Chain A
Amino acid sequence: EAQVTQNPRYLITVTGKKLTVTCSQNMNHEYMSWYRQDPGLGLRQIYYSMNVEVTDKGDVPEGYKVSRKEKRNFPLILESPSPNQTSLYFCASSFGGLPETQYFGPGTRLLVL
C-alpha cells in the first residue's frame, strides 16, 4: 500500500531534550516536506526536499533541522525543543521534484513542556 508513515504519532517531551520525528514513504517520491499545523494558522511549511541531499527552508524553519540521505526518509530534528514548538506535524511527499499532489502522513502530535 502506498503510504507516508510518521513516528511517533504522539510525543510528550520536555524543553531542551533533543528529539527526532521520522518520516518514510514507499512511493519513490522525489519531493518531501514537513509542515506544522496550529489552530488559526493553517499549515506552515518547515523544510522541504526536492531530492536526495537537496533541502531548503520553508516559511518557519527556525528551531528545526532536516536531512535527506535516502530517497524514502526525511527525518525532522528538534535539537532543543521549546514550548512554542508544540504542534501537530505532518510529513508529505510527491512525485517529481515539485510539491504537486502531495500524499500526507497521519501526523505527529507533539507537546513540549
Chain B
Amino acid sequence: SQQGEEDPQALSIQEGENATMNCSYKTSINNLQWYRQNSGRGLVHLILIRSNEREKHSGRLRVTLDTSKKSSSLLITASRAADTASYFCATDAGGTSYGKLTFGQGTILTVHP
C-alpha cells in the first residue's frame, strides 16, 4: 500500500499565489522528503525534514511535519509559472524497512502566468 498520499491530486493557481500540498503517511518515519518532477523527467530533490523537526524552509519553500497526525505540507510562496510540475512526497520508514523509500502518487501543480 502507498505510504505517502498527496492531496490535492491537482492544483491550479495564478502566478504570485501560494500553493499548498499535503502528504499523509501510515507508519512512523525517519524522514520525509519532497521532490519535483517536470513532465516525465527525472525527479529533483527539494527538501528533507527529519522526524524530530517540525518546520523547515528553503527559499520559497516551507515544509511542515506533524508526526502525531502523520502528515506533512509543502508550501510554495509567490508561485511562478516555472513551478508548474508534479510534486511528490517520499517517506523513509527505517526499522525493518531500512533503505526503502516510498513515494506518494503526487500533486500536479499548474501555475498560470
Q: Which residues of A contact B (CB under 8 A)?
A: 4, 31, 33, 35, 40-45, 48, 50, 56, 58-59, 88, 90, 92, 97-107
- 8 Å CB contact of A104 from B44, B48, B99: B44
Whether the Cβ atoms of A104 and B42 lie closer than 8 Å is: yes
* A45 CA to B31 CA, complexed, in Å: 17
Whether the Cβ atoms of A100 and B92 lie closer than 8 Å is: yes
* A4 CA to B43 CA, complexed, in Å: 12
Q: Which residues of B contact A (CB under 8 A)?
A: 2, 31, 33, 35, 40-45, 48, 88, 90, 92, 99-106
Q: Which residues of B sit under 8 angstroms from A102, Cβ to Cβ?
A: 33, 35, 43, 45, 101
* A92 CA to B90 CA, complexed, in Å: 13
Closest beta carbon of chain B to A68's beta carbon, Å: 12
Q: Which residues of A sit under 8 angstroms from B43, Cβ to Cβ?
A: 43, 90, 92, 102, 104
Pick 8 A–B contacts, CB within 8 A, sort by A.
Answer: A92-B42, A97-B99, A98-B99, A100-B31, A100-B33, A101-B33, A102-B43, A102-B101
* A45 CA to B99 CA, complexed, in Å: 11
